Structure 1
């Protein structure tokens, strides 16, 4: 399913538009970024914002966790999940 990223919450959670006036929180599957306010949290958020901020993405849902859909996120043919994990390992 294609969506547009409305907001980056932290290094592994985004908000996407569902339809006019409606949004969904998406948790990147298999990505465990530092939380906001923790060491590395701001950097992880900025990395994810650079990868997906305001962009059109494709979601492959993998399940649910709390109030979020857990999904593989794609920009074009590139896995955002894979790229985030690569960038987080380098920090």
Structure 2
């Protein structure tokens, strides 16, 4: 019994401290995934520094599908930053080839840099490049950021 409790405590600690590897078992939307740890527990991970379109917004399904295509059922490395008020681990997600899933979504024009929580200059440059190229959501004349959409729904 003690060993089982210790394993759960260690896996919970790993989900918010440092980094860990796991298999993506669920894609909830364009910026949230669920990762299965080797200890057979799951961790919900919110991609750090980005905000993908909300359900019902243009490019929401495309962002979710891009995450599925790149990460579903694959092993990823999570470099954690913190936890949010919903208990999700906030982190950078790295694919097996070393690419950042967070950055790929911004590069493809499928997510905004979430400037309220990120001052990452690489994300800033990737978003500017996607805007200039009118990729993804930037093909729209005036896309509504998800944080504004959430505020309007309240």
RMSD of Structure 2 on Structure 1 (CA): 1.1
Structure 1 unaligned segments of length 5 or more: list them. Answer: none
TM-score of the superposed pair, with normalisation by structure 1: 0.91
Match of 2:78 in 1: 59
After superposition, where does 1:1-91 map in structure 2 within 5 Å?
1-18=20-37, 19-20=39-40, 22-65=41-84, 66-76=86-96, 77-87=98-108, 88=110, 89=130, 90-91=135-136
Structure 2 unaligned segments of length 5 or more: list them. Answer: 1-19, 111-129, 137-154
| Structure with the larger strand share | 1
SS in 1 for 2:33: strand
| Larger RCO: 1 or 2 (CA < 8 Å, sep 6+) | 1
Distance in 1 between residues matched to 2:33 and 2:90, nearest whole Å: 10
Q: How many residues align?
A: 90
Note the alpha carbon deviations across 1:22-55, whole angstroms, 9 max, x for none: 2111000011101223322111100111110110
| Structure ID, larger Rg | 2
TM-score of the superposed pair, with normalisation by structure 2: 0.56
Distance in 1 between residues matched to 2:27 and 2:61, nearest whole Å: 11
